[in-house]
Chains A and B, each alone.
Chain A
Amino acid sequence: MKKVSSLLFPLAWLALLAPIQAGASNQVELRVIGTIRPPACTPTLSNNGTVDFGTIHFSSMVAGQPMALEPKSTTLNISCAGPTKIGLNIKDNRADSVMANLSSQPVALAFGLGKIDNASIGIYHLRFISDGDRQLIHSTDDGKSWQRGDYLASSYLHAWSNSADLTQASQVQHLSGTVEVAPHLAPPETLPAGREIRLDGSATFEVTYL
């Protein structure tokens, strides 16, 4: 009982100091929360997600110019235990190496290729080509509104629509498509000469539930 009586004074003061919030202190809210998660979905990328551009010779690069490499492809599969309204987020694990003006695309669509000696190696773009009728859509306001577009970006929430109405995300159970990876290397004079430079892009694909 001692504990209780020691609480009395602070509580009484609390009541005295809050006269405007009439009734607030004699009420308390119980919140009952939780989340029902739709069927689990798994994204996979072909070749364990590795896209290898082989060896590029320094001598093939032109001073003062970024170098666009021939795009290569990987296949994205998403498989769900049941029809599920899904979104796709892509996190650029090399975002600090993104630079502007290496391609004709907006820098918002660029993923980083990593750095060497603090110099950005370059960027790449990801373009999605659907195997079926589904159309890639993306949202920049967390799913409130959607637009059509082929490019994937780390600032977008992506989804797919299989209807004529491209402003709505559709349910997906199985989905596959080609992800085209198009690198643009930084001009050679910005990179350390005489050393092997490894392209080091890394992005994490994450399925979210809408």
Chain B
Amino acid sequence: MHFRHRVICRLALFRVAPVCLAVLHVPPVAAGDSNVLSMHGVIRPHACIPSFANDGVADFGTIAVSRIRIGQATPLPEKKIALHIICAASHRFALHVRDNQADSASQPRTFGLGRINHEKVGFYRIRFQAGSIMADGRPARLIHASGRGDTWMPPRPDAAIAPAMRYSWAGAGGHLPVAASAVSTTLVVAPSVHLPETLRAQEIPLTGSATFEVQYL
């Protein structure tokens, strides 16, 4: 019997006592007299918590189908929702947005509104409201980089959030992510309903879901 014990700790990086995540893998008993017990651990800072106003619900209410152009994308009035990220210590971090209904999205930089009878019912775009990002109480500038890249630059003004990108913030005039312990912004959610003729006669729930994740830089 022998052990492999690997714990990756990056304690020095964080001021707040971090959490040791130990995952114990015990492989099934093999037909021999030796077993491998391997232990892997990752220390995560876990120190930045994102939260939305209104429990993260952007409710577009009840929309009469008579207001929808069947067979075409019909925009609904936009809604705004506040997003706050509070950290236990100052960090450089980025936001990544994952579409949990990606199979119902229909264009780049859009998120899906779900399917009924296998048919897509529409999509929505999310954008950071211009000038709404505050980092530690000071106005900050939106920057983005591709999912794995670290070339940061400001996006086109009012560009929709893309699931392939990561978003962070720079100081005035800067292009690189800055550390902050409290970031707030307002997101604008702009849905478009796009119903096929076959769905005209029934009640259609909109079921968009996106996960906003803090990634430490």
Please report A residues at the B interface, Cβ cutoff 8 Å: 1, 4, 7-8, 11-12, 14-16, 18-19, 22-23, 25-40, 81-85, 171, 209-210
Contact = CB atoms under 8 A, between A and B. Distances in A.
A14 B195 CA distance: 43
Contact of B203 (A27, A29, A37): A37
Nearest to B124: A32
Nearest to A8: B88
Query: Helix, strand, loop or mixed for chain B's interface?
Result: strand
B160 to A, nearest CB: 13
A123 B195 CA distance: 45
Nearest to A1: B137
A86 to B, nearest CB: 9
Contact of B212 (A30, A36, A84, A85): A30
A38 B200 contact: yes
Given A30-B209, A33-B58, A14 B202 contact: no
Given A26-B50, A32-B207, 6 more contacts: A11-B47, A28-B50, A30-B81, A30-B211, A35-B62, A39-B64
Contacts of B83: 28
A10 B210 CA distance: 26
Given A4-B86, A38-B202, A39-B66, A31 B50 contact: no
Nearest to B195: A36
A12 to B, nearest CB: 4
Q: Which bucket holds chain B's interface residue count?
A: 35 or more
B88 A32 contact: no
Nearest to A14: B49
Contacts of A14: 49
Interface stretch (B13-21, B140-148, B167-175): B13-21
Nearest to A9: B88
19 contacts: A1-B136, A8-B181, A19-B21, A26-B46, A26-B50, A30-B58, A30-B212, A33-B57, A33-B207, A34-B60, A34-B63, A35-B203, A37-B62, A37-B63, A38-B65, A39-B64, A82-B201, A209-B202, A209-B203
Interface string B41-74: 0101011111110001111111111101000000
Contacts of A210: 202-203
Contact of B208 (A8, A16, A32, A84): A32
